[in-house]
Amino acid sequence: MSEHIEEYLKSEYSAGWVTDVESLTIPPGLNEDVVRLISAKKEEPEWMLEWRLKAFRSWLEMTEPQWAHVKYPKPDFQALSYYSSPKSMEDRPKSLDEVDPELLRTYEKLGIPVHEQEVLAGVAVDMVFDSVSVGTTFRAKLKEAGVIFCSISEAVHEYPELVKKYLGSVVPQKDNFYAALNSAVFSDGSFVYIPKGVRCPMELSTYFRINEAKTGQFERTLVIADEGSHVSYLEGCTAPMRDENQLHAAVVELVALDDAEIKYSTVQNWYPGDSEGKGGIFNFVTKRGLAHNRAKISWTQVETGSAVTWKYPSCILKGDDSIGEFYSVALTSNYQQADTGTKMIHLGKNTRSTIIAKGISAMKSENSYRGLVRMNPGAEGARNYTQCDSLLIGDQCGAHTFPYIESKNPTAVIEHEATTSKVSDDQLFLCQQRGIDAEKAVSMIVNGFCKEVFKELPMEFAVEAGKLLEVSLEGAVG
């Protein structure tokens, strides 16, 4: 039976084509001059350059983390190019109408609504292509509500006070090796500010596309939800199929002020490499949110891509009564390796966190959950509940769980559970005996396994996520 499942898994990566546009890509290599060049290309103010240089100098002193349960050839940081932009973007188009249609077609082809009149009109999109933001839809409509949604490059110019105040406030420049690298060379990404008491009138989303070869993407996203506001944000990612590994080292910072709520969803479909384990994205990402009093931060992620993933969307529950949530589905197949999970740092009183992590490993992949739940001495009455489940498909893969659980407060309650299971021959047989073909049966079982996470996704994405899993598992059964 398991060979059928493998057959089912050998599917094509559907987003693996290349957009044929002329790009301006700076030569490979990394030094202070490169950092200055990136800053100059973006015409950044002096303070921004200084911030980058400080990060770069720290990075030079740091070493790559070794603790994750992944094996990969160490990226050669001098062989990568740190900035690449479609040539047409150099002219700084003023609106979407001026953007090279070939670029917009890239997003259309990926199913992203780039025209405001389209069906998914409830979603505003920022499109990031290699190192630059191509354009952002619905800006005017959002502005009416006082919501700022633009690229981080624009924000540096137009909202310097907000950027200065919050950039690096959740993920400091020196936080870790890849965060420091990102802080030095970050190119584009999204900036969101929701004013006090405002409920963002539509879903916001950013769609990241790596196109150019031998480049890394270092996006930076900053979401600030002011007191009592509410926002739901989604991100999606794809890249062409290439034989070499490409590096994606992003930093996402969320700030939820008193009574604010941020819901951050990711459907990550970076190119995972081929069936021999060749190529694919190295996805080394730092995502963290800071929740003030009674604020809520909810991370939902569906991870199907990347050759190697190293990612722990986290919550610092600083304010009393704040809430952190992490819902995750991570699917690995072929030679993919994922080491992903979350950290819930409880500082405030009566803080609450929930972690639901579902790992599915198939073929020769390695899938690890790594998490930290920490109750600091001040976390009076705090609670955490964690459930980690692994589903194994085939006997060549690995499924691992590494939860770190720390408590310094006797009134805090932590509950952690983990289980493993497989798609059993019995389950498949039952389905088949009732007339359901094996492929459909696996997809049903996997979807059932992930149900608790999918229900947290915004509706449009839940459908997409279900399909994505189905595609990723396609050909596994016959």
Partner 1 sequence: MTLPLRAHRAHQTLQSDTDWSWLSQWRSQAWSTFADTPWPTRKTEDFKYTPLKSLTNTDWELPTGSAKGTGRGVEFENWPRTVLTLIDGRLTDHDELPEGVTVKLLSKASAEDRVRFEQRLEAGLADNKQLFSLVNQALLSEVVWIEIAANQQLEKPLHINQIISSGAQQRVIPVRVLVDVANSARATLVETFSSEADGPVFINPITELMLADNARLTHYHLLMEQGDVRHLGAVQAQLGAYANLNAFHMALGGVLKRKDITVYHRGSGAELNLNGVYLPRGKEHIDYHTCLEHEVPHCTSQEVFRGIIGDQAKAVFNGRIHIHKDAQKTLAQLSNKNLLTSHQAEVDTKPELEIYADDVKCAHGATISQLEQKSLFYFLARGISRPEAEVMLSFGFINELLEGLEDEPVRLLLRPVLANLFAKEDIWARHLL
* Calpha distance 90→369 (Å, rounded): 42
Of 181 and 393, the one with the shorter C-beta distance to partner 1 is: 393
Q: Which is nearer to partner 1, 422 or 440 (CB)?
A: 422
Residue 115 has φ and ψ, to the nearest 5°, of -105, 135
Residues 418-447 that bind partner 1 (CB under 8 A): 418-422, 424
Residue 3 in contact with partner 1, rule: CB under 8 A: no
Tell me: does residue 412 bind partner 1 (CB under 8 A). yes
Alpha-carbon gap, residue 59 to 178, rounded angstroms: 8
Question: What are the CA-CA distances from residue 14 to residues 198, 238, 239, 307 (Å)?
Answer: 38, 10, 10, 16
To partner 1, the closest distance from the beta carbon of 227 in angstroms equals 31
By rule CB under 8 A, what count of residues binds partner 1?
Answer: 36
According to the binding rule CB under 8 A, does residue 144 interact with partner 1? no
Nearest-approach distance from CB 192 to partner 1, in angstroms? 36
Least separation in angstroms between CB 305 and partner 1: 23
CA distance 285 to 340: 10
Site string for partner 1, 357-396 (x = CB under 8 A): ------------------x-x------------x-xxxx-
Task: Tell which positions 54-113 bind partner 1, by CB under 8 A.
Answer: 67
Whether residue 289 contacts residue 255, with contact meaning beta carbons closer than 8 Å, is answered with: yes
Which of 207, 191, 203, 253 shows the shortest CA–CA distance to 232? Answer: 203
Q: Which stretch binds partner 1 (CB under 8 A): 161-169, 300-308, 414-422, 468-476?
A: 414-422
Return the SS3 of 373. strand
One of 238, 401, 443, 472 touching partner 1 (CB under 8 A): 401
8 A C-beta contact, residue 308 and residue 68: no
| Contact with partner 1 (CB under 8 A) among 32, 91, 244, 415 | 415
> CB within 8 A of 244, min separation 6: which ones?
213, 214, 279
Report d(CA 305, CA 441) in Å as an integer: 23
Rounded distance between C-alpha atoms, residue 9 and residue 246, angstroms: 23
Query: Quick one: 193 or 449, whose CB is closer to partner 1?
Result: 449
Q: Which residue of 84, 182, 407, 472 would you call a contact of partner 1, by CB under 8 A? A: 407
Map residues 21-60 to x or -, x wherever contact with partner 1 holds by CB under 8 A. Answer: ----------------------------------------
Give the number of residues written for the chain: 478
Find the helix or strand (DSSP H, E) in which 165 lies.
Answer: helix 160-166
Binding site for partner 1 (CB under 8 A): 2, 67, 375, 377, 390, 392-395, 397-422, 424
